[in-house]
Structures are given as C-alpha cells and as structure tokens.
Amino acid sequence: MASDAILREVSLVLPMVPDMEIAAGKTATALAEFMEMSSDKIDEVRMAVVEACINSFEHSHAADHKVHLNFAVLGSEEPEKLEITIRDSGVGFSPDDVEEPRIEEKLWAARKRGWGLKIIRGLMDEVEIHSGRNGTTVVMRKLR
Amino acid sequence: MASDAILREVSLVLPMVPDMEIAAGKTATALAEFMEMSSDKIDEVRMAVVEACINSFEHSHAADHKVHLNFAVLGSEEPEKLEITIRDSGVGFSPDDVEEPRIEEKLWAARKRGWGLKIIRGLMDEVEIHSGRNGTTVVMRKLR
Amino acid sequence: MSETLKLTVDRQDRLAVIYTEGYINNQGGEEIARAADELIGAGHKALVLNLHGTKLVNSIGISILIEIIEKMLEIDGTLAFCCLTPTIEKTFHIMGLAQYARIFKDLDEAVGALTD
Amino acid sequence: MSETLKLTVDRQDRLAVIYTEGYINNQGGEEIARAADELIGAGHKALVLNLHGTKLVNSIGISILIEIIEKMLEIDGTLAFCCLTPTIEKTFHIMGLAQYARIFKDLDEAVGALTD
Ligand SMILES: Nc1ncnc2c1ncn2[C@@H]1O[C@H](COP(=O)(O)OP(=O)(O)O)[C@@H](O)[C@H]1O
Ligand SMILES: Nc1ncnc2c1ncn2[C@@H]1O[C@H](COP(=O)(O)OP(=O)(O)O)[C@@H](O)[C@H]1O
C-alpha cells in the first residue's frame, strides 16, 4: 500500500533567536498528538526537532535569519508517519565530514559539544541531511 | 516610547481540517510563554486563536484550504504585546452585520451558535477584523 | 482524532456528575449533550459537569451545552459546572451562561449546594 | 526569557541533590555546572541531579554536564541522575553518558545506592 500520501501539512517559519525552537517542538507535538503517537514517541520527535532548529540557529548563518519547517502527516488512510523538514538557507556543511562524537573523547576535551546530529538520528526512525551552498535541509521521519 | 517594534515574528500555515486549531493554540502559547505572560492570559490567547482558526475553517471556503497565521511579539525593548494575525483568502463577511449573540435569544432558538467573535473580543485586548472579497484577516492583540 | 473527549458518569440519587477529560469541541459537546439527555431521561434533576480534565473548549462545543440548560429549565432542574479553568469560566461569563447554570469552584462545593 | 531553569540544592552529608525545574539549554547547563562546582568545592563527593521538573533538554545543555562528570572522576566521586523522562534517559544512552553517571528511577533509589 502506498503510504506516502500527505494527510495533513503544516508549515512554520521561525526567527533564529533563542528559545524559538520551543515553538517548533510544540507544533511537532500538536501533529504527533493528532496522529495519536505514544507520548514517548511524541517527546522524542519534539527533542529531535528542537535539536535541528538549534543547529540552524547556531551554524547556518542564514541571511534571512529564519528556519523554515514543514510538518507532514503521511499515510494511506490512517496516519502512519510524521515527516518533518527543517530548512535554512545558510552556509551548509558536509554531513559526512562531521565526526561521530564519542564520550571517551569528549571527556577532558576542550569541545564537549557535537551531539545534536547523533541524538537526532538516535531518536528518529529516518534522517536525511541535504546540505550545500544554498543551505541545509534536514528531513526526519517517525513512524506512528 | 514606541512600542511597536517587532521583537520576534513567527508564521504558521495550517490546513483547514479539524483539530489543526490546536497547533495554532500551541504556537500562540509558545510565544506568550516566551513573553512571560501570566498563565491565565496565555490561556485566553490560546482560546481566542483557536476560535479565529475555526471560523476560517468553517466559514471562509478558501480555495487553498489554508489558514495563514502570523505571531508577532511587539515592544520597545521588553516584549509588551502579542499580536496575532489570522488570515484566510475565503469569501469574507461583513463583521458589522453579524448580530451580537444574547443568551436569552439563543435559549430555545434553533441556532445556538454565533459566539466565536464575541468570545474573541472578550478575551483579547484589541481585535480588528478586515474582511472582503479577498478573504478575512483578524488581528488580535494582548498586552503582557 | 486524538482530540476525543472522555466522559465518565457518576449517578448518585437526584444528582449525577459528568466528568470530562479533553477538548470540548463539536463532537465533545454532542457527547456531553447525549450523556446529559440520558441522565435527565433516567430522572436526575441535578447535573454537575466537572470540567477538571478539560483545559480547552471551543464556542461550538459550548453552544451545544445550551441545549442542556434548556432541558434543565423545562424540568425545573439545575445544571452546574465545577473545576473550570479561569479562561473557561470567563468564557461562560462572556456568553452569559453563568446566569442559567451555576458555577462552583470544586465538586464538593457543587454537590453540597445541590443536595441541600 | 521565560525559559530559565530553576535550581534547588539540598546539601546532605557526603551527598547533595540538585533539583532542576525547566528547560536545560545552554544557560541551564551552565547554571547546573556552577551549582555542582560549588558543591564539589564544599566537599560533597556524591551528587544527584534530580531532573523531575525537567521535561526538555538540548544537546548543548547536556554537553555542559560532561564537565561535572570529569570533575567527579577527578575526585573519585559519583554523579547520578534520577527522575528522567524516557526521552532524556534515551538521550543519555545515545551519548554514552550512562557509562559515567548512574541513572536511577527515583530519588529514594539514588540516595539509597549512594549512601550505602
Ligand atoms: N544547519 C546547519 N548549518 C550549518 N552547519 C551545520 C548545521 N547543522 C549542523 N551543522 C554542522 O554540523 C556540526 C555537528 O552538529 P551537531 O551534531 O548538532 O553538534 P553541535 O551543534 O553541538 O556542533 C556542527 O558543529 C556544524 O558544523
Ligand atoms: N473567516 C471568516 N470567513 C467568513 N465568514 C466568517 C469568518 N469568521 C466569521 N464569519 C462569519 O461571522 C459569523 C459569526 O462568527 P462567530 O461569532 O465566530 O460564530 P459562529 O462561527 O458560531 O457562527 C459566522 O457565522 C460567519 O458568517
């Protein structure tokens, strides 16, 4: 069965300022609740979205100072999947060049950060990152 | 002091389908929490936004089946006001021709509805309705 | 979908309490009206709607509750609400519902007043 | 703005408990690290971070907590967490924090294990 019809779609544009990731988390929560995801999964989606927004806020240097989000409930008849797209038109990066963080190396290291992408991948079922000179688009999906 | 600088601005586009008003309410809540509004006021804003969305869902017959929301935190330095704009490109209506609902008349009447605009006006500090052939725009404001 | 209202009914003697949990929208209002109808049919003359578990209502859902007020007026019964959020209480005042239904802080207060 | 973390500290003997309330972001993580520093300076060798009041963290906030682990390892002390939401616990496992800090269901369990 085709499971990729868009049952609902919401878009959100946020300014790149502190705490605005919370609004993204709330929108994700609203859609995930609509799909009747379990509260644990809803919470995982929320955290993943928050992380992706913070990455755009911090690293993209997008001239429009905005993050563009799209939330799509996918399914054939019943909602099956929540797909969230987080897009910035910033400087981009090479996801393959990002080193996988390891706690042993972060201990006593000067830079302890670098966990966002790992956490996003750990919390979501599917994650794709498209990045280049026109910016970064992260597509993440969670099955109901 | 000029109190109308936009400190933050968020936009949200919702499909006109049941329950999506909840997502609008959550975005309003996120912004109002950011402004440190009291929880009672936050709740009032949430309900007003929900009502305005439902009006667009139900009455606008907009061809794009979408409601466009804008949330702006206004203030000179500190956030002072939350301005929410709810726009549809539907059939429009004449706000002046809408009769003020009265409970005495609604009792034993066939149509008991017609409370949305009155509730919105009662819960928000300022409400403007612009409506015409290109659709309806409701602008509502709440002081912190 | 997820926004379905859960109702629990506690039938006492003359009095019955309907507990709501969730969003009172269109369908939610209709469900409450149905439950109230049944209780009125079964002879209960005092109804308390305990909205403790409801944090959000919309005007469509609430307008359906006006039907319950009508029926209560017809049988000379009483409709009361308790455990309202401040916004829901304010909304009831804006609508003028507060003139036709009694509003109590909590269930004890409501039951006390209605079983005097 | 609104998203400021509230901290409460309960100094016991060898043990101290830090209760958090709110979002652990950048500033939140720094505040916790400061509070932990003070407690370590005051001689506490076992710290429990009770995250009962925290439903959301971000990776920046959490990475700052790695500093506390370092300091605890240096003084041969113990850092423990309790009352984590399932997502926060999962995140700690994803990061491998669970190897260096103990995770308990609730405060009683944590205090019991650390004061043996
Ligand atoms: N939207 C983005 N735009 C540009 N660079 C990004 C973006 N998202 C991630 N990156 C790059 O990937 C790196 C790893 O990101 P992440 O795993 O989230 O950890 P952190 O943000 O703590 O560095 C970042 O340091 C940054 O160089
Ligand atoms: N966005 C809109 N587009 C078209 N008509 C509208 C819109 N909002 C309100 N109206 C008109 O105003 C009337 C009153 O609205 P309201 O007070 O919210 O009560 P209700 O929605 O229950 O009728 C509606 O019945 C409708 O005719």
**ipTM of the complex, rounded to two decimals:** 0.91
Q: Measured from the CB, is residue A95 less than 6 Å from ligand 1?
A: no
Distance, CA of C36 to CA of C65 (rounded, Å): 9
Q: Whose C-alpha lies nearest to ligand 1, atom 9?
A: A55
Nearest by Cα to A7 from A66, A64, A81: A81
Nearest ligand to the C-alpha atom of residue A137:
1
User: CB burial class (10 A; 0-12, 13-18, 19+) of residue D21?
Assistant: middle
Residue A3 is predicted with a pLDDT of: 59
Instruction: Give the tens place of pLDDT for each residue, A82-112.
Output: 999 999 999 999 999 999 999 999 999 999 9
Chains C and A touch (3+ CB pairs under 8 A): yes
Average pLDDT, chain A: 96
Q: Measured from the CB, is residue A79 less than 6 Å from ligand 1?
A: no
- What are the start-end ranges of the E strands in B5-143? 5-15, 66-75, 81-88, 126-132, 135-143
Cβ-contact B35, D3 below 8 angstroms: no
Q: Whose C-alpha lies nearest to ligand 2, atom 8?
A: B55
User: CB burial class (10 A; 0-12, 13-18, 19+) of residue B49?
Assistant: buried
Average pLDDT, chain C: 95
Confidence of residue B42 (pLDDT cuts 50, 70, 90): very high
Which atom of ligand 2 is least distant from the CA of B56? 1
Q: How many CB pairs under 8 A join B and C?
A: 77
Residue C54 is predicted with a pLDDT of: 98
Triad D27, D31, D35: Cα angle to 5°: 170
Distance, CA of D5 to CA of C26 (rounded, Å): 39
Cβ-contact A119, D95 below 8 angstroms: yes
Confidence of residue D1 (pLDDT cuts 50, 70, 90): very low
> How much of chain A is in helix, strand and coil states, percent to nearest 5?
35, 30, 35
Q: Answer yes or no: is pLDDT of C11 > 50.
A: yes
Ligand 2 centre distance from Cα of residue B112 (Å): 13
Q: Which helix (H) or strand (E) holds A16?
A: none
Residue in the structure block whose two tokens are 């005495």: B104
- Written in H, E and C, the secondary structure of C4-36 is CCEEEEEECCCEEEEEEECCECHHHHHHHHHHH
Instruction: Give the tens place of pLDDT for each residue, A44-72.
Output: 999 999 999 999 999 999 999 999 999 99
Confidence of residue B4 (pLDDT cuts 50, 70, 90): confident
Token pair, residue A98, equals: 């990002």
Distance, CA of C20 to CA of C7 (rounded, Å): 5
Pairing of strands A135-143, A126-132: antiparallel
Triad B59, B60, B64: Cα angle to 5°: 140
Instruction: Give the tens place of pLDDT for each residue, C24-50.
Output: 999 999 999 999 999 999 999 999 999
* Sign of the alpha-carbon torsion through A31, A36, A37, A43: positive
* CA separation, residue B69 to residues A13, B27, B114, D4 (Å): 10, 10, 22, 27
Which residue among B55, B61, B67, B138 has the greatest number of ligand 2 atoms within 8 angstroms of its CB, and so is best to mutate?
Answer: B55
Task: Give the number of other Cβ atoms within 10 Å of residue B83's Cβ.
Answer: 18
Ligand 2 centre distance from Cα of residue A62 (Å): 40
Nearest ligand to the C-alpha atom of residue B61:
2
Residue in the structure block whose two tokens are 């819960």: B123
Which residue among A56, A93, A134, A137 has the greatest number of ligand 1 atoms within 8 angstroms of its CB, and so is best to mutate?
Answer: A93
Test mutation, D59, D60, D90, chain A, max A CBs within 10 A: D59
* Residue B91: CA count within 13 A, CB half-sphere: 7
Cβ-contact A123, A44 below 8 angstroms: yes
Which atom of ligand 2 is least distant from the CA of B95? 12
Q: Which residues in chain D (2-41) have CB-CB distances under 8 A to chain B?
A: 2-3
Q: Whose C-alpha lies nearest to ligand 2, atom 22?
A: B114
Q: Which residue of B has its CA nearest to A11?
A: B13
Nearest by Cα to C35 from C1, C68, C13, C75: C68
Please indicate whether, in this complex, the C-beta atoms of B23 and A31 are within 8 angstroms of each other: yes
Instruction: Give the tens place of pLDDT for each residue, C82-112.
Output: 999 999 999 999 999 999 999 999 999 999 9
Q: Answer yes or no: is pLDDT of C116 > 90.
A: no
Confidence of residue C1 (pLDDT cuts 50, 70, 90): very low
Nearest ligand to the C-alpha atom of residue A122:
1
Nearest ligand to the C-alpha atom of residue B96:
2
Chains D and C touch (3+ CB pairs under 8 A): no
Average pLDDT, chain D: 95
Instruction: Give the tens place of pLDDT for each residue, D43-59.
Output: 999 999 999 999 999 99
Chains with 3 or more CB pairs under 8 A to chain C: A, B
Q: What proportion of chain A, given as a percentage, has pLDDT over 90? A: 97
Residue D3 is predicted with a pLDDT of: 62
* CA separation, residue C36 to residues A88, C71, C73, D107 (Å): 52, 9, 13, 45
Q: Whose C-alpha lies nearest to ligand 1, atom 19?
A: A114
Q: Answer yes or no: is pLDDT of A2 > 60.
A: no
- Mean of pLDDT values over D12-25: 96
Q: Does A144 touch chain B (CB under 8 A)?
A: no
Q: Answer yes or no: is pLDDT of C75 > 50.
A: yes
Residue B1 is predicted with a pLDDT of: 47
Q: Does C107 touch chain B (CB under 8 A)?
A: no
Triad B11, B73, D32: Cα angle to 5°: 100
C56: closest CA of chain B, how far (Å): 7
Ligand 1 centre distance from Cα of residue A116 (Å): 7
Between B43, B104, B118, which is nearest C87 by CB?
B43
CA A117 and chain centroid, separation: 9
CA A87 and chain centroid, separation: 9
In chain C, what residues touch B106 (CB-CB under 8 Å)?
63, 66
Distance, CA of D44 to CA of D16 (rounded, Å): 6
Residue A4 is predicted with a pLDDT of: 81
Residue D116 is predicted with a pLDDT of: 76
Which residues pair with residue B132 across a beta bridge? B135
Chains C and B touch (3+ CB pairs under 8 A): yes
